[in-house]
Structure 1
Amino acid sequence: MGAIKVHEFTTVDGVVDVPMWTADYGFPDDLSATIGALTGSAKGILLGRRTFEMFAPAWSTRTVEQDPGAPFFNDTTKYVVSATLDDAESVWRNSTTVGYDVDRLRALKDDVGDLYVSGSATLVRALLADGLVDELHLFVYPVALGTGIRLFPDGAPRTPLALLGADRLSNGVAHLVYGPAA
């Protein structure tokens, strides 16, 4: 049985919008190792369509020499949750489109194993609402932007979570791990 493990870069005020602001904090070895541990158990990548369309051009031509994460993103099967994308494979190799169906996604994590989700705020909100997220990894950057897409926007339903772990990374980022509330 697999788990859905979500990775979000976020600001202290909850912004998860295109995280260009993370560049100011570097990508130190402990951050790399933490994300590497998260992706290391993944047997598949689950992405929303918009994140997939942003990731595909950024990762599909990247080599291991350019980024040690490139083989994971390029070689691992990507499951794109979309009602409008017909042929994900033509966009980025090892990609397939799946619709948003709770039973299908449960079966997918059971059949495939651990699924890694990065970004994909709309998808993550739905996964959380349906109780499908097993681990929510928030990498909280010490900056407030005041505006942008938030994982939990105003008006979102109450979402109780249980803290599973917390670490301080060398660049001042807090790595918080949450799971479903008991």
Structure 2
Amino acid sequence: MGIIKVHEFTTVDGVIDAPMWTLDYEFTDQMGAAIGGFMGSCTTILLGRTTYQEFAPAWSTRTAEDDPGAPFFNETPKYVVSSTLKDEDADWNNSTVLGAYDADTIRRFKAETEGDIYISGSGTLVRALIADGLVDELHLFVYPVALGGGARLFPEGTAKTALKLVGNEAIDNGVLHVTYVPAEAAQA
């Protein structure tokens, strides 16, 4: 059974929307090692439609020489949660459409997956997974900038979500990597 590991770039005020603000901060070897550290056990990628459609053209043409993460993104099986995409629309190598979001489908998917499941971005999907108690690890890379507006991981009106800090690391570019698990899982 796989566990779901979510990776989000966020501002200090919780904005995850189109992270162009990350370009002001160098992507360092230390940051790459931090991301690679939790991606290493992942054998599957799960994405929402919007992130899939942004990642496919960006990653499909990259090689290991361009970016050490390219083989992971291009060779790993990818599953897309979408009510509008069909399998024939998912033309990035090793991609399959799971269909519209359904918590029971995701539970079965987790149970049937060998290795862990990686999610990056995919805000709508991640919010649904958190609400349904399906996220096992939440890796936030908190950038030292506040935007004052934009899509947030936990928008106003979100139900209380108790988390337990299980890791933190200051990255050499000023970013903070914090890892949370559901509070009830930490007590088990």
1:56 and 1:93 map into 2 onto residues whose CA distance is 9
Q: CA deviation at 1:38?
A: 1.6
Q: Cα gap change, 1:71/1:89 in structure 2, threshold over 3 Å: closer, same or farther?
A: farther
1:22 and 1:88 map into 2 onto residues whose CA distance is 33
Q: Cα gap change, 1:132/1:150 in structure 2, threshold over 3 Å: closer, same or farther?
A: same
Q: In 2, are the aligned partners of 1:9 and 1:19 still within 8 Å (CA)?
A: yes
Structure 2 alignment gaps of length 5 or more: none
Mapping of 1:22-101 within 5 angstroms? Answer: 22-87=22-87, 90-99=90-99, 100-101=101-102
Q: In 1, are the aligned partners of 2:140 and 2:177 still within 8 Å (CA)?
A: yes
Instruction: State how many pairs are aligned.
Output: 182
CA RMSD of aligned residues (A): 1.1
Mapping of 1:125-140 within 5 angstroms? Answer: 125-140=127-142
Q: In 1, are the aligned partners of 2:17 and 2:150 still within 8 Å (CA)?
A: yes
TM (normalized to structure 1)? 0.96
Q: In 2, are the aligned partners of 1:88 and 1:95 still within 8 Å (CA)?
A: no
TM (normalized to structure 2)? 0.93
Q: In 1, are the aligned partners of 2:90 and 2:96 still within 8 Å (CA)?
A: no
Structure 1 alignment gaps of length 5 or more: none
Aligned to 2:150: 148
1:43 and 1:90 map into 2 onto residues whose CA distance is 19
After the TM superposition, which segments of 4 or more aligned residues of structure 1 sit over 6 Å from their partners? none
2:88 and 2:120 map into 1 onto residues whose CA distance is 17
Q: CA deviation at 1:93?
A: 1.3
Residue deviations 1:134-175 (CA, integer Å, cap 9, x gap): 000000000001111111111111111111111111111111
Q: CA deviation at 1:88?
A: 5.5
Structure 2 counterpart of 1:53, which letter? Q
